[in-house]
Structure formats: structure tokens, C-alpha cells
Amino acid sequence: MCGVLLATGAVWGEDSVPYTRLLRADQEPGNWLMYSGNYRGYRYSALDQIDAGNVGRLRLQWIYQMKTTHHVETTPLVVDGILYATRPPNDVVAIDTRTGRTFWTYHHPVPEDVHACCGQVNRGLAILDGRLFMSTVDARLIALDARSGRLLWEAVQADYRAGYAGTAAPLAVKDKVIAGIAGGEYGIRGFVDACDAATGRRVWRFYTIPGPDDPHFGTWEGDSWKTGGGSTWTTGSFDPELNLIYWGTGNPGPDWNDEHRAGDNLFTDSMVALDADTGKLKWYFQYTPHDTHDWDATQVPVLADLMFAGRQRKLLLHPNRNGFYYVFDRRTGEYLLSRPYVRQTWAKGIDARGRPIPLPNTSPTEAGVPVWPGSDGGLNWFSPSYNPKTGLLYVPVREKGEIYFKVEAVYRPGMSFGGGGGKENPADPGHGVILAMRPQTGEILWRHRMQTAPWSGVLSTAGGLVFGSTMEGQFFALDARTGNDLWHFPANDVSFANPISYLSHGRQQVAIAIGDVLMAFGLD
């Protein structure tokens, strides 16, 4: 697998966006060069033209209509005035940020028999040396010439007919493209791939479920590891100094029926720290051993260097889907802290080594068991934002429980292998919250309540703003220090995306996809 299907060709503009620009992404806030804005997973913009004093005058500048019935989960990239966005399932468009007019469109043909568990979605692109990279729902990683949209190579990662799918934005690191895989509800065996950016040739693969030759093998009952899930469907982060890539892994399979997978089920629901050159495991931490609630640890890891308990440390911040917020030393993986950030009813607490102490009668049953948080977790794939100016972590939160049930699970390649699910709890319709959190302690400084539990991320800016959107399609700006609601725009459709900010002809814009429309806002 990972065979390269197309010979690579010369790229015009190969000198544009070299790795050195990605390393210094913070120093060019006029661009948005990778999924989270920088390698640290901040989703923060150092632009401050739009601030608390003038955000009330924010106006729609242009829209791009995707004309799709799929969820639009894309985070665009912006390079020197050109915005690159994915349009589901796997088209790519290059758009002029001043007018919203397209320069080119690339269409990736998707086979009719693709089964992606949660829709044929795509969350974005990576760019390096004039090449754009996209994972596809038929489990390929492809490279396009950023100036022309021409296909340069495509590498097959896995067999989509067995439930493998690519939905996350890849991460370009040095001369490689790092790409995860989705399919945790289909009995896949998850991995993280690194492919050569110029040719698509696979350089390394890290299996999130260790095989028999691995010292970590043996945490699964029988052969259950072979269909154990551990997908990697959200973009990770990277620390160039430590040369480590941090990537969250997904649930064990079957998600809700654990009858035949006794054990901790490593490395599902974990954070793995991988050597960027070799893919070798440096450390791991499993948040939810032997998970029965579908609590993938696929939230964006935030890498911040902060004072912690009296000394400066390189931290990894992670509001996990299981309802707890975690802090680690990212050099060693040392567990430092955890604290619930949403209502949780499944754990008595977390022990000194970070292992949860589950409460009895919280695993799914045939009749159903109410547990908080729900299967979709406190935070899901959508992004938090760390703002170095306020020193706060902003987290879009789902305050919602579910009734967990289980059914029989039989593995058939390419067929759903969940073994249950989470149902709405009529006693708790849930709601959403934007939290402002002190990252060193998990202390919550303010809360902005939303009617409905969200599916979209937040962006914070040097202008003292937090942008986000609601399930009803209100795109809003909050005061980053107080949480006060300063502005909103009624886009009036469901929102499944993260905002970004950049400069267009020297003027700050904020863009987000709501419904099937990508929209850009700016000051007149």
C-alpha cells in the first residue's frame, strides 16, 4: 500500500512556502499556512486590525458557494492573498481573498462505494514547497501544484473498501507529509503515515495498535487488535526543537461493545509522541483505557511553553473528549494535571498517574445507561484556541450526556463495527459553552453559553477576540477577556468548521464555512 500512482512532475513555485516559512508561521500572521495556524496547534491570529472596539462594524466581504450536501468541515489555508479550501468530498479550490473568485478547481473522483462513518467530509490541506496535500475519503494522500491545481502524485494509504478513509488535513513537516486515517467505526487498524512530499513515497508508518513484534503488544483479547480501530482522523501538532509529532488516536473497536476486547487496548484513545524522522514512539499516554464510550483522543494537541508549578515547562494541553482537561510535559509525556471541564459521571476521579477510576454501571448495556459526557464528548475534532496574549485557552464545549447502549458487533470488512451507540437523553437536551480556561490549572475564568452543543471550533486573535459559531449558524465574536458577546452574523445554517484569519491586500479578514458556504468578513 501507499503505492504512488502518478509520476511526480516539476512544480512551478517550488520555492514558495518552504519548510522555513512553516517553522516561522507565527511571524507572518497575514497568512494561514497550516491547519491550526502554527505547529503548536494554537489556532491564534496575531492580527489586531479587528478588535473589540470595531468588531461591531465587521461586514461580509464575499462568499464562496460550495453547492454540496456534505458537511463542510474545511479549514482553508491562505498564502499571499490566495485561499485554498477543500470542498467535500475531495475537491480543492484556489480563491482570490479580495473578491472570492476562483483561480482554479481540482476535482478528485470519489468511488461510489466509499463508506465513511460520519459523512464524506474533509478538514483541509497542508502546503509545502508549492505543493498542496489532501487526504481523500478513498484513503489516498494526494499532492497538487498550488499554482495550477494539477495533480502531481497520489499515494494509496489503505483499502477504502475495508472502511479506511482520509478526512483530516495533513501536516507538512520538514520534507514529509504526515497524514492520519479515519475508520474507527469499521474495524480498521489505525496508523499515522509520513510520505515524501516530493514523490508520495511512504517514509514511515506508525501503527496505533501494536503488532506481535512490538513490546506494547498484548493489551487486546485474542485477535481483537487486528480490528481494533485506533484511527487518527484529526491533525496533530509538531515541536521542531524536540523533533516530535503529537497525534491523538481514536476509539477502540467495537466502540460500545467490549465483550471480545478485554484489556487496555493500546494505543487507542491516546496521545502518541513520534519522532518526526522515523515515526518511532517516544512516549504515549492513554486517556481512557478500555474505552466503551467512543471517546477518541483526536482533539488538537496544544503545545505551549508556560510556567507550571513554579517552573517553565514545555507543556501539551489537551481538553479530552472524555470530559477531562489534561496537561503533560511534552518532552517526556509526564502526566501533570487533569480536571473535568464538562459534567462527567463516569469516573470517580483520575489517579496520580493519570489513569481514570471508572465508576460502576457506566458501560453501555442493551437497555441503555445515561452517562455524561455523551459519545461526542466534551470536545470533539473541532479546534480550541490558545491565545499567548491573554494566556488563556478557549474551548468550545458540548455540555451533553447520552444514553449509551450496546448491540452485537460482528466484523465484516467495510461494514459498521460499532456495537451500539449513544442516544439522545430526553432529560437533557444539552447545550454549548465557550470556555476560557487558565491552561496551567484548568481553572475556568468565564463561560459563554450557547443554545446547542456545537460542532465548530474557535479562533482567538491579538485583537482581543474569540470567534466561533453556533449550530444555528450564528458566527460570533466574544471579548477574549470577559466573554462578552460583541458581534454576530446570522448565516443561518449548521456549522461544522473552524475559523481562520489572514490579510487580504493588507486588510484583516476572518473566514469560516457555515452550511455549504465559505464566507469572509472584514472591516469596510
Contact (Cβ atoms closer than 8 angstroms) between residue 183 and residue 231: yes
Rounded Cα–Cα distance for residues 190 and 232 (Å): 7
68 binds other proteins (CB under 8 A): no
| Contact range with other proteins by CB under 8 A, out of 116-124, 147-155, 190-198, 438-446 | 147-155
Residue 237 CB-half CA count within 13 A? 26
Rounded Cα–Cα distance for residues 242 and 281 (Å): 13
CB of 98 to other proteins, least distance (A): 6
28, 48, 96, 277: residue in contact with other proteins (rule CB under 8 A): 96
Rounded Cα–Cα distance for residues 434 and 95 (Å): 30
51, 91, 129, 145: residue in contact with other proteins (rule CB under 8 A): 145
**Closer residue to other proteins in complex, CB, 132/209:** 132
431 binds other proteins (CB under 8 A): no
**Closer residue to other proteins in complex, CB, 56/109:** 109
Rounded Cα–Cα distance for residues 523 and 51 (Å): 10
E strand or H helix that includes residue 438: strand 431-438
CB of 91 to other proteins, least distance (A): 14
Question: What are 444's strand-pairing partners?
Answer: 437
**Closer residue to other proteins in complex, CB, 13/340:** 13
CB of 29 to other proteins, least distance (A): 21
9 binds other proteins (CB under 8 A): yes
Q: What is the DSSP string of 41-75?
A: ---EE---SS-TTTGGGEEEEEEEE---SS----B
Rounded Cα–Cα distance for residues 139 and 2 (Å): 9
CB of 164 to other proteins, least distance (A): 25
27, 54, 99, 451: residue in contact with other proteins (rule CB under 8 A): 99
**Closer residue to other proteins in complex, CB, 80/221:** 80
Show the DSSP H helices in 357-414 as ranges.
none
CB of 128 to other proteins, least distance (A): 18
| DSSP, res 359 | P
Residues that bind other proteins (rule: CB under 8 A) add up to a total of: 22
Contact (Cβ atoms closer than 8 angstroms) between residue 60 and residue 491: no
94 binds other proteins (CB under 8 A): yes
| Contact range with other proteins by CB under 8 A, out of 9-17, 170-178, 299-307, 397-405 | 9-17
Distant-in-sequence, close-in-space partners of 27: CB < 8 Å, separation ≥ 6: none
User: Residue 33 in 3-state DSSP?
Assistant: coil
26, 48, 68, 147: residue in contact with other proteins (rule CB under 8 A): 147
Contact (Cβ atoms closer than 8 angstroms) between residue 8 and residue 152: yes
196 binds other proteins (CB under 8 A): no
**Closer residue to other proteins in complex, CB, 70/205:** 70
152 binds other proteins (CB under 8 A): yes
Instruction: Phi first, then psi: give them for residue 192, nearest 5 degrees.
Output: -120, 130
Binding mask 12-31 for other proteins (x = CB under 8 A): xx------------------
Q: Which residues are catalytic?
A: 294
Instruction: Phi first, then psi: give them for residue 404, nearest 5 degrees.
Output: -90, 130
Rounded Cα–Cα distance for residues 371 and 365 (Å): 12
Contact (Cβ atoms closer than 8 angstroms) between residue 11 and residue 129: yes
Side-by-side strand order, sheet with 281-286: 237-239, 244-248, 270-275, 281-286
63 binds other proteins (CB under 8 A): no
289 binds other proteins (CB under 8 A): no
| Contact range with other proteins by CB under 8 A, out of 142-150, 160-168, 310-318, 437-445 | 142-150
48 binds other proteins (CB under 8 A): no
26, 28, 70, 103: residue in contact with other proteins (rule CB under 8 A): 103
Rounded Cα–Cα distance for residues 71 and 65 (Å): 13
Residue 508 CB-half CA count within 13 A? 20
Binding mask 74-93 for other proteins (x = CB under 8 A): -------xx-----------
Contact (Cβ atoms closer than 8 angstroms) between residue 228 and residue 222: no
CB of 8 to other proteins, least distance (A): 6
3, 24, 60, 101: residue in contact with other proteins (rule CB under 8 A): 101
201 binds other proteins (CB under 8 A): no
Q: Which residues bind other proteins (CB under 8 A)?
A: 6-10, 12-13, 81-82, 94, 96, 98-99, 101-104, 145, 147-148, 150, 152
